Each structure stands twice: as structure tokens, then as C-alpha cells.
Structure 1
């Protein structure tokens, strides 16, 4: 039976795998590749790959298809990671902006951080680290303002 271009390509793939696994020396590999591209029949292709683990098999509608070697299988699909919680990102941004806004974004950072942590526990989204960082920065901003007011009151009381 005459070989198709696809049959020749399958034989070349088997030869490439054999060479990559160290089953064929360079010179013999190159000779077999050349002969594979010139082969006219399945028998010629079978002779080229008969001593290798996988060879081309004539494809008919009744013959079972050979298993594809693992080296030629597509990579398995990786599952998509869970999305990052938007409130967690907002908490982190508000926390980072606390010094720039003179502490005005501290309260939104704390509120968004607590809201984000509750949503993350409920939905399994990512971003817990962002929410915690926003909470810490928010509470630092609030405590900074409280310290400032306490100092102002103490200065005011001592000046009386």
C-alpha cells in the first residue's frame, strides 16, 4: 500500500523520538530520515522503524489506531486559578495610599480588608494576603491618627 505524507511524518516522528532517547546514532538517524521522506510504501516505512518502540501502522477504517507516544501528546490543560478578590485589591490600594492621603484612606482600607477576608472565606477567591496587608496598613494609619490626637490633647492640657 502506498504511503501518504502523514505516514512519512509519523515515521519521522518515531525516528526523532528514537534519536532523542539515544536509540539511534546521529549518522544512522540522518540516513533513516532521508529514506523516510523518499519511501513510497508502508513496507519501506515499517523497515525504517521496525527496531524502534513505535512504528507507523497502516490506517484503515477497521484497524485500531496505535497509541500516541507520550512524547507527542499535548500538554494537559492547567486549571484556571481562582480570581483575585476586588475588595482585597481595594484594601491594599487604600492601605498603601494612607500616608499620601494623611490617613483618610485608613478607614476604607480596614472596611475593605474585613469585607474581602469574609468574601474570600466564602467564595475561595485569592487575595487574602492583600486583604491582610490592607488591614495592617489601615490600622496603622488609624493608630497614627489616634496617637496624634492624644499628643495634641496632652500638649493642650499641659499648656493650660
Structure 2
């Protein structure tokens, strides 16, 4: 198709040079340098958004943290094997008898009868911990040690009290 010769009609999508269209890019001579509808620059200058500039490489030794693998559908970087995610941590439960052993042994400071109970509970708790793989071995051991020490001290205290009474009775009869 040709344009009408009267010159009063022009195609707005393909302006004529020198028509004063806003799409023109004038130069020193007044003529457009390139087609305004084509991207400017060479193919090397046109990069996709987010890609690094030419010649850019990541710093040496850069790798993902250990235990992480690429998202599904992606392969690992060259030279790196697939890594599997570690199993989530599940804390082990603490043996209730170990807690009771420590509490009873410490209560033996006030009531001497609970100290041997705490020591015996500690022995039972350590056996259960070995069988079940639970936490609390340190508490059970502390309950055993504290319980038997307090039981021994209470036993010495009772023996000393009985000795004092026996001495007092024997001296009363000699007066």
C-alpha cells in the first residue's frame, strides 16, 4: 500500500524521517540512529534479567552448606555429589524414675527415710535407661550417690544418737 499523495495522512507506527515524531532518536544530523522498535545494543550487551555480567564468576570455594541438595528437578553443580538432608532431630525422653531418684535423694536431707528410696530408684532407673535408650543416666547416678551417702550419714547419726543415750543411761546408774 502506498500513502496518499496529499501528505495529510501518515502511518503512526512507521514514522517518516524528519516528521518530528516522538519515537525518533535524533542525532547530530537530525536523523534517527536506529529503529526505535528494536532493542538497542548488540546481542552481547543484551542480557537476561538476573544473569551475571560477562566474566563474572562466583568466589572460589563457594558451595551450598553441607547436607543440602538442589531443589527437585535440578542437578548439583559440577564436581559436587548429591547431598541428602539430615534426619530431623528428635530429642529422647528423660526417664521419670531418674528424676524421682534425684528428688527422693535430695529430700533425704530433711527426711532420712527418703534417701535409701532415692538410691534404689536410681538403680532401677539406670537399668531402664540402658534397655530403653532414654536420657537421665546422670540424674539416676546422682540419685544413687546422694541417696547412699545420705543413708550412710543418717545411719551414723542414728548410731551416734543411740551411743549418746546408752552412755547417759550408764552414767545415771553410777551416780
- Measured after TM superposition, the shift of residue 93 of structure 1 is 1.3
Which structure's residues are more often helix, by fraction?
1
Which residue does 2:155 correspond to in 1?
146
Matched residue, 2:90: 80
- Unpaired segments of 5 or more residues in structure 2? 1-45, 63-72, 171-175
Question: Per chain length, whose mean CA-contact separation is higher, i.e. which structure has more relative contact order (CA < 8 Å, sep 6+)?
Answer: 1
TM-score under structure 2 length normalisation? 0.50
Is contact 2:122–2:141 with CA below 8 Å preserved after alignment? yes
2:144 counterpart of 1:135: yes
Q: Which structure has the larger Rg?
A: 2
Shift in Å at residue 153 of structure 1?
2.2
**CA RMSD, aligned part only?**
3.3
Structure 1 residue 76 displacement after superposition: 3.9
Partner of 1:112: 121
SS at match of 2:112: coil
Asked if 1:92 corresponds to 2:98, the answer is: no
Q: Hey, what does 1:57 align to over in structure 2?
A: none
For this pair of structures, how many residues does the alignment match? Answer: 108
Question: CA offsets, 1:36-76, max 9 Å, x none?
Answer: xxxxx97444454773359xxxxxxxxx53437x9xx9974
Flag the 1:104–1:133 CA change in 2: closer, same or farther, 3 A. Answer: same
